[in-house]
Structure 1
Amino acid sequence: MSSVLKRTGRQRQRYEGNMRLVSGCIPYRWRKDNTDQMGEAEEILEVLMVSSPKRDDLVFPKGGWEDDETVLEAACREALEEAGVKGILREIPLGKWEFRSKSSQDDLCGMEEGCRGYMFALEVTEELETWPEQKNRARQWLCVKEAFRLSRYDWMCNALEEFMRVMEEVEEERKLETQDKNVEAEDVSECQSKSPKCYKRSSTMQYHGMLQHASQEIAIHFGY
């Protein structure tokens, strides 16, 4: 049994007018794939989705934003409760979306109200073996292309599109960091040849080459 208790009820639920405020995230990880001819492992971007109770579809972890927590805390809590994951949350939201229930079984927005949801990107660092909603939700890691295919609602596809844009920015930042480290290593190596007090520091990092392909898939999905 999970030692983390799930929050229940709507006593502390935040509203704006008749819109219920919701916070959630797109959990992601970099999974090492096959080793190439150079002996380096390729990194594949995957996102985590969870099953919906009483419905045959997959969603991203999300739930009501309550009045005793920040929107960031709410997103992390929902990731823990629904998917059993912890990680590093990017504080800048992917965006804000409004949606209404299309099913009487929806546990977020009633038929008489809508939801205003804030979504974030969460880099997963820990997967728990047990979590509060484990009996009602199964989690599944998917490549981005498959996540697009299985997303039931337009707002989920829009959030994924923004998520990929952010990941492209992250990739560019990583490439710049790698270049800086390589230049630094070259400088230290040259210094080492001139002085015994200097030492060589090396750091080798390889990143995936799938973001451009995924962006093309997004363009096809949205008809760009």
Structure 2
Amino acid sequence: MASPLLARKGRHRQRYDHENYRLVAGCIPYKLKEGTGNLFDRLEVLMISTPNRSDFVFPKGGWENDETIYEAACREVLEEAGVKGIINKRSLGEWVFRSKSSEMNCSPTGACKGQVFALEVTEVLDSWAEQSSHTRRWVPVMNAYSLCRYDWMREALDSFLSLLSGQKITIIADVTAAATNQDLTPPQDITSTDISSMCMIQLPTSTERAIALC
């Protein structure tokens, strides 16, 4: 794997599928806070900023032809967020991401297709390859929903919580702040006692896709 201080550049190794979608891989990095409490109270996820934007995303990027999809996901989280960890090889889902420039274009050209995985963070680096482009922020998992820029991110969080809890969960969250990209102050902390009123026993399968701007 490349040095954490040197990110891969260019797309000469980039993978594409038979529909000419650019293939990408990403992670939801997470940790459990020290102390007592249940999963939802202690769970935090790591999100990163992007240039010229005020909201947050999960690390993701191109899957190249000299690595597995899991290696690609780990490399991207290392380059963009400066963390290492243990990846869970069960995919949280597959989504199609469409750039703003191709928003009105039905052709897959300019679009990408990707999978997202959960990654338990074991090491946080003081410096990383794309530190000048991405700041990182640990967020209580239930607050992360309102910071997500796109629907696919909230769907990935649903799958992530289902994976860790062993239950099929869909969170109904207030995403007004994410939609307006204005006030990104996290809502009041949501504890496990609120879960029953916010969950539906329904989970998109990994084969379902969400179209999003990236």
TM over 0.5: yes
Matching residue of 1:71: 69
Match of 2:93 among 92, 95, 102: 95
Quote how far apart the aligned CAs of 1:214 are: 4.4
RMSD of aligned residue pairs (Cα, Å): 2.3
SS where residue 157 of structure 1 aligns? Answer: helix
Match of 2:37 among 23, 39, 42: 42
How many residue pairs match? The answer is: 167
Deviations 1:158-179 (A, max 9, x none): 1111001001129xxxxxxxxx
Matching residue of 1:193: none
Matching residue of 2:14: 13
Matching residue of 2:128: 131
CA contact (8 A) 1:144 1:214 kept: no
Percent identity between the two aligned chains: 53
Question: Equivalences for 1:18-167 in 2 at 5 Å?
Answer: 18-32=20-34, 41-42=36-37, 44-102=42-100, 112-167=109-164
Distance in 2 between residues matched to 1:215 and 1:138, nearest whole Å:
33
Residue ranges of structure 1 left out of the alignment (5+ in a row): 34-40, 105-110, 171-209
SS where residue 37 of structure 2 aligns? Answer: strand
Quote how far apart the aligned CAs of 1:215 are: 6.5
CA contact (8 A) 2:21 2:109 kept: no
Quote how far apart the aligned CAs of 1:45 are: 0.3
Distance in 1 between residues matched to 2:76 and 2:66, nearest whole Å:
14
CA contact (8 A) 1:145 1:214 kept: no
CA contact (8 A) 2:4 2:82 kept: no
SS where residue 71 of structure 2 aligns? Answer: helix
Amino acid in the other structure paired with 1:42: G
Distance in 2 between residues matched to 1:212 and 1:10, nearest whole Å:
47
Q: 1:149 to 1:67 in 2, by over 3 A?
A: same
TM-score (norm 2): 0.71
Quote how far apart the aligned CAs of 1:152 are: 1.1
Matching residue of 1:108: none
Distance in 2 between residues matched to 1:165 and 1:215, nearest whole Å:
14
Amino acid in the other structure paired with 2:163: V
Residue ranges of structure 2 left out of the alignment (5+ in a row): 103-107, 168-190, 204-214
Quote how far apart the aligned CAs of 1:52 are: 0.8
CA contact (8 A) 2:4 2:79 kept: no
Quote how far apart the aligned CAs of 1:99 are: 1.8
Distance in 2 between residues matched to 1:151 and 1:134, nearest whole Å:
20
CA contact (8 A) 2:92 2:116 kept: yes
Give the greater-gyration-radius structure (CA).
1
Q: 1:32 to 1:10 in 2, by over 3 A?
A: same
Distance in 1 between residues matched to 2:117 and 2:10, nearest whole Å:
24
Amino acid in the other structure paired with 1:167: L
Distance in 2 between residues matched to 1:3 and 1:80, nearest whole Å:
6
Q: 1:142 to 1:215 in 2, by over 3 A?
A: farther
TM-score (norm 1): 0.68
